[in-house]
Each structure stands twice: as structure tokens, then as C-alpha cells.
Amino acid sequence: MNPDLSQIGKQMSKRTGVRAIMKDIIETLHGGGGQEFINLSAGNPTILPEVVALWRDCTAELLASSEYGEVVCRYGSSQGYAPLIEAIARDFNQRYGVHLRDRNILITPGSQALYFYAANAFGGYREDGKLKQILLPLSPEYTGYGGVSLTPEAVVACKPLIEIDEPTHRFKYSPDFDQLQMTPETGCVIFSRPCNPTGNVLSDEEVRKIATLAEPFNVPVLVDSAYAPPYPSLNFTPMTPIFGENILHCLSLSKVGLPGERIGIAIGNPELIEVLESFQTNACIHSPRYGQAIAARAIASGKLADIAETVVRPHYQHKFTVLETTLDAVMPKNIPWFLHQGEGAIFAWLWFPDLPQSDWELYQALKKAGVIAVPGSSFFPGLQEEWAHKEQCLRISLTATPDEIALGMERLAAVVEQVWR
Ligand SMILES: Cc1ncc(COP(=O)(O)O)c(C=O)c1O
């Protein structure tokens, strides 16, 4: 059957961003003709035994408790499971000296759903026909933002400033505040901190500056904290969550062992939370409660924050160190290559100015050498303008083993040398 799709149906049934490349990657991995690949493309987190044990213990507690029937056999409130909301409020109040109450918090089925609600509630066409934009202040950005709006033309992104350290082959992006303009047409702002794909962490001051620019226009600023403290604490540089009248601080438990349970958390002004909650009621009633019930236990006991700091962060930070020391040792010295400062998340981001081919061709050449990484051009959602940089980057995942990462970087160095020759 070939259904006659609506405009939205057509758009939402397309693969966007990295999902389009993932199809090629999956076909390569499954049909490799006996070739073994080092897969440095995965966004799926590594399964860590200590983290699995925590969730297993929380599940055993839940199964043994009288709460079990209430959790799985009944509908709940759209806002989320009350013990989880209470545990988050108490934890954040103690940790950050804020004064969160239950109405400041919403639980969603994963944080991707939260960005979908926000992008369509605050962005898109208004009743008067004006387009409200979803502004990504620093491109490159999380590829998933490319698919969140039912009005794709609403997503717009700004080119960054680039600071280069030639002798060490490192670089860093920062927001270009001369380009970053809020207007009555700005609907909401979204950025990831730490950033997927680059590992960049916007400073506390930069976050405050963005929120201050947005405030006079009543623009909500969503800080995507999928890699931030206190869980999963995948920051390798100090950073503090920033709260404010127009800031929606958005968490995800996916990188601390629960990607399958789909738990996203929005923290902010009750008026913003209410808008998102109503959106959620219409979309799916509420998030599943089993994951929420085990998360409530892990957060209330303090074990989730502990394991994030003592197990999850060191695991990925070590792999970043392996990656950068290998690159420093094996990359050709006479070729321009730059690694983005590894400030957090579970990826490394490489930039090759003057790359004599496109990032897609580099990806294909790497595949021939048995390594799969993600071509960088998938990570510029909303950036329409021509910019050579968009086709000069590569995202490398830190989810493989340290040995695989080191070998992958050695093969990358050999491919790069060949490409330049
Ligand atoms: C920056 C960022 N935001 C959001 C998400 C979506 O996460 P979730 O599993 O909470 O929907 C991801 C997933 O990888 C991500 O990297």
C-alpha cells in the first residue's frame, strides 16, 4: 500500500541528519563481506557493569515493594511519577541551592520528546502567520534538532567563532555574539552543553549571556544537559547548571544507563512546564512509569550521581585521553588537522581544513580501511549557508574499547596521509 501522506506525514517519515548515514553504516556493518570494522560511529552508550548493577538493584527493590502494582498497573499524571519529581527537586535544591517545587519539573519519554514539544510549542507559524524560529546559537549541533520541528524552515543556526591552537593541533568553537540576534521572531533557543558532536562546553557566562539576550523577548532557552552534571556528569571541565526565569534545564538519563527506558526531565518556570505538559498529554498521556520508579530510587539514594562521577565520567574521559594521545603520536605533522577541545560528552570532533575531498569521501575511504566514523556534515541542522567547514569534519565516538579507538586513530592517520598524497 502506498498511503497518500500529508505534508507533515511526508516530512516526518523522512530520515534526517545522522539517521540517514546510520542506514549506510548498518548496511556496511551487516554486509561487510567478511570485513571486520572498528565502529567509531555509535551514539549508543557503553554498557558499564557498575551501572547495570545499580539499575538491577533498583529494579529488585521495586519488584519487592508494595508500590509495584501502583507503578505498572495504573495510569499516572502527565507531569510524571511523583516520587521521581520529589527526588529530583530535593537533589537539585541541596546540590545547587535552588528552590525547586514539583511544578518546576516535567518528566518526558526521553529528552528528544521534550525538544519536539518545545520546538513545536514555541516555534513554527503563529496564528498571525509569522514564523517563530528555533534558534541554535552555535553550529555544529546535535543532529536530532534537525527533525524536531513540524515546520523545518523554523530551525536556524549560527556559525561559530573558531579559536585555533596551531602548535597543539587543537581548536574550540564559541558563540559569535555579533551574529546571535534575538528578535520578536525568535521562538526558543536550544543548545547542548556539553555538546554532541563537538564535546564543547559553553561557559557559565556564555549561557547567562544567551539567556539575558532572550529574556526581553520572552524566549525560553533550552539547555540540553544530556551530558551534564549531576547525571551523567560527562563533563571533563568544570561547569555548573545555570537556572533562570527563561531557562529550561533539560536532562536525560540515557547516558547513565537508561536509554531504553526513555527518561527526559525538564526543569524550569511552571508556566513553561505547563505548556510542555499539555503537549505531552495530547501526544502520549505520560512517560512509562517503570523507568521513573527505578530512577526515583537511584536519585533519592544519591547513588546515581555517585556512579556518574566515579564510573561513567572516568570511563569516557580515559577514552578521550587515549584518542588524543594516539592522534598526537601518529597524525602526519605537515597536514592541517585539529581536534576540538575535549570538554565533555562521548565524542571527539576532528576538523581538517583544506581537506582535498568531502567528508563523505573521507568516510568512504575510512570504511575501506575498516573504520567507521560519522561524516561531520550531518551536524549542522539549520545552517543553510554555504560553508566549506561543514564538509571538513568527522565525529568519532568514544563508545568503542580503548584498543579499538587507538587502532582506529592509527588507521585514520594512514588514510589522511594517503588522501593528501
Ligand atoms: C545532545 C543530545 N540531546 C538529546 C539526545 C536525546 O536523548 P534522549 O535519549 O534523552 O531522547 C541526545 C542523544 O544522543 C543527545 O546527544
This prediction's pTM: 0.97
The answer, yes or no, to whether residue 327 has pLDDT greater than 80, is: yes
Residue 19 CB less than 6 A away from ligand 1: no
- The stretches of 39-168 forming alpha helices (DSSP H) are 49-64, 68-72, 82-96, 111-122
Q: Tell which atom from ligand 1 comes closest to the C-alpha of 113.
A: 11
Residue 192 CB less than 6 A away from ligand 1: yes
CA–CA gap between residue 33 and residue 319 (Å, rounded): 29
Classify strands 38-39 and 371-372 as parallel, antiparallel or unpaired: parallel
CA–CA gap between residue 245 and residue 187 (Å, rounded): 16
Q: Judge contact between 249 and 241, C-beta under 8 A.
A: yes
Tell me the three cell numbers of residue 5.
501522506
* DSSP-based three-state secondary structure for 224: strand
Where residue 151 falls among pLDDT bands split at 50, 70, 90?
very high
Cα distances (Å, whole numbers) of residue 416 to 240, 265, 294, 408, 420: 38, 41, 46, 12, 6
Burial 1-18 (b: 16+ CB within 10 A, else e): eeeeeeeeeeeeeeebbb
Residue 198 CB less than 6 A away from ligand 1: no
Average pLDDT over residues 142-159: 96
Question: Can you give the CATH number for the domain in which 167 is found?
Answer: 3.40.640.10
The DSSP code for 344 is B
Which residue of 141, 254, 255 sits with most ligand 1 atoms within 8 Å of its CB, as the best mutation to test the pocket?
Answer: 254
CA–CA gap between residue 100 and residue 185 (Å, rounded): 30
Domain count, the chain: 1
At 44-86, the pLDDT tens digits run: 999 999 999 999 999 999 999 999 999 999 999 999 999 999 9
The answer, yes or no, to whether residue 190 has pLDDT greater than 90, is: yes
Contacts of 173 (CB under 8 A, 6+ apart): 138, 140, 160, 161, 162, 163, 198, 200, 340
Q: Chain-centre distance of CA 152, in angstroms?
A: 19
Where does 268-401 show beta strands of DSSP type E?
A: 338-340, 347-351, 371-372, 374-375, 393-397
Can you give the residue range of the structural domain that contains 253?
1-421
User: What spacing in Å lies between the alpha carbon of 241 and ligand 1's midpoint?
Assistant: 17
Average pLDDT over residues 335-346: 97
